[in-house]
Amino acid sequence: MKAVVQRVKNASVSVDGQVHGKIPAGLVVYLGVAQGDTQADAAYLGEKIGNLRIFADDDGKMNRSVKDAGGGILAVSQFTLLADTRKGRRPFYGDAAEPAMAKALYTCFMDKIREQGLRCESGVFQAHMEVTYTNDGPVTILLDSKDRSLPGV
């Protein structure tokens, strides 16, 4: 499971011109679910993202999590994070999970965020969405649930 996490001052996602999810300051999380991903991957990323210390403390150092900062999370499913562009010019998405599994794990991820007491808004799974936000920093973090097995992590 892959995630792109962006610290934002505000964010919203619209489908067909209607706002579906909206947060004040917090994080936009684009989430890509791969074949073979499990609930353990969703739980790992949910916990990791909820506790990432990427918000400024009183001294201006990134020492606070989204929880500490009182922010929310806007989770947007994005299978294109699984794009393989090594061959040719058209991305290959064969490593992306099948829609039913991807939706179940996307929902599991959001549940893990909410279990931490965080507000979690979302896009609409498999819809064409318009995401609007004001990047803060910018701070952008790339996460992969498979990286948790690295030595020393």
Residues near 143 by Cβ (< 8 Å), separated by ≥ 6?
Answer: 2, 3, 4, 5, 45, 48, 49
What positions carry a catalytic annotation? 80
Distance (Å, whole) CA 89 – CA 119: 39
Q: Is 31 left (phi over 0), alpha (psi -120 to 50) or beta?
A: beta
Residue 116's φ and ψ, nearest 5 degrees, are: -85, 5
What is the sign of the dihedral through the CA atoms of 10, 147, 78 and 110?
negative
Amino acid at 66: V
